[in-house]
Amino acid sequence: MSKLWGGRFTKTAEEWVDEFGASIGFDQNLVEEDIQGSLAHVKMLGKCGIVSEEEAETITKGLQTLLERARKGELEYSVQNEDIHLNIEKFLIDEIGPVGGKLHTGRSRNDQVATDMHLYLRKQIEEISSEIKNLQGALLEQAKQHVETIIPGYTHLQRAQPVSFAHHLLAYFWMLERDFSRYQDGLKRVNISPLGAGALAGTTFPIDRHYSAELLGFDGIYENSLDAVSDRDFIIEFLASSATLMMHLSRLCEEIILWSSQEFRFIELDDTFATGSSIMPQKKNPDMAELIRGKTGRVYGSLFSLLTILKGLPLAYNKDMQEDKEGMFDAVTTVKGSLKIFTGMISSMTVRTDVMEKAVHSDFSNATELADYLASRGMPFRDAHEVVGKLVLHCIQKDMFLLDLPFADYKEASELFEEDIYDVLQPKTVVARRNSAGGTGFEQVKIAIEKAEKLV
């Protein structure tokens, strides 16, 4: 079978060469977008008189038939036809005859594939954005139940200061809100049309690019035909946003893995999101969290791969750019799957408030409160820091905590201490008093929840 572009050639490639060069194995994912773009293109051709109304109608009906068959999984793609564009064109010609060959008037596969990817990413970003909101909703629901549940806060993975568990969860809510914002901002660059830019230089036919862009729901067109067919910034931006999102998910994965360990026991994951061991009957492994943490590397890899592919490419289209799709498809699958799993994992996890309560009464995370206490009574904070440090050391040597320390020891350390110090050191008091804007104080957390609810 000769190629649709084979007129200039006297030899055909061997089958293994065709297989190496073909992209149909993965770009068939773009079949609906490819047909949608073609429907808009032929309607524009008919409007501009480049094909007759009858021809436009015949081609349109043929494309609609192919779209239905594609959705039913009835199309059998051929490596011989290389990519989704030539496969669809061949199907169309077989369906309606030679008039199907007029569809490609005034365009190239270069602007066609770019159009397909713009349409594809627009749809996927909308779906990913919806999944982000679902996960934010799950975090928010848990936060609403645990405003006054206190958990040790950490720096360097060492106990630092007690915080509201809701406050901790809401930190990820706001990370996800930035992720959502990045995707939405990226839509501005996704939602522009390269259709009609041709191979690189435009076309001699009197096409109306603005009309086809309007039909496809784009906000505008690329103003330069060279840029239109060679731009992959919008995919890089999508992958960068996805890499940042996955980084945020991976950080929460790490905390979930720690929290569900025997050493922490702060939470227990639902059985749906855990697995067992083939040899150790007692095990309950947080495999889904671990897997998402691992899959983050796939998305990073897709971003770096595309950046590397594009580095040093001259204008306009080069075959290297065929490698832009698999990483994009993989990132979409990875991100959507990770978000769905995470929403279920957060919604169904059991929070062990009793273990958290015990933890914050068995550490020195209230030590800063002592330093603040002394500073509020006139002692320079640096001096207060040293006084409290020595008290902590004294407690460690005596195998006790600050709430266990006799009042005489406090008085010996500083005359500024009063009997109210034991109330001040209570974890609930420590958290409640941190009422600065954005802080972990219960009133601030309630304000944050109100703001978050409006966003979800």
Residues labelled catalytic: 156, 277
Please report, to the nearest 10 degrees, the dihedral formed by the alpha carbons of residues 218, 221, 226, 228 taken in order: -10
Give the whole-angstrom CA distance, residue 419 versus residue 414: 12
User: Is the preceding peptide bond at 316 cis, omega within 30 degrees of 0?
Assistant: yes
Q: Helix/strand/coil (H, E, C) string of 95-115?
A: HHCHHHHHHHCCCCHHHHHHH
Separation CA 80–CA 83 (nearest Å): 9
Angle between helices 442-455 and 109-145 (to 10 degrees): 140
Per-residue b/e over 246-265, b at no fewer than 16 CB within 10 Å? bebbbebbebbbbbbeeebe
Strand intervals (E) in 293-402: 350-351
Q: By C-alpha distance, which of 206, 199, 195 is closest to 45?
A: 206
Cα distance between residue 319 and residue 306, in whole Å: 13
State the Cα–Cα distance between residues 47 and 52, nearest whole angstrom.
Answer: 9
Please give the C-alpha separations between residue 236 and each of 27, 183, 247, 355, in angstroms, as whole numbers.
Answer: 18, 12, 16, 44
Q: Which ranges in 146-267 belong to alpha helices (H)?
A: 165-190, 209-215, 225-230, 233-259
| 3-state SS class at 93 | helix
Cβ-in-10-Å burial (0-12, 13-18, 19+) of 20 comes to exposed
- Write down the number of H helices and E strands in the chain: 19, 6
CA distance 283 to 276: 5
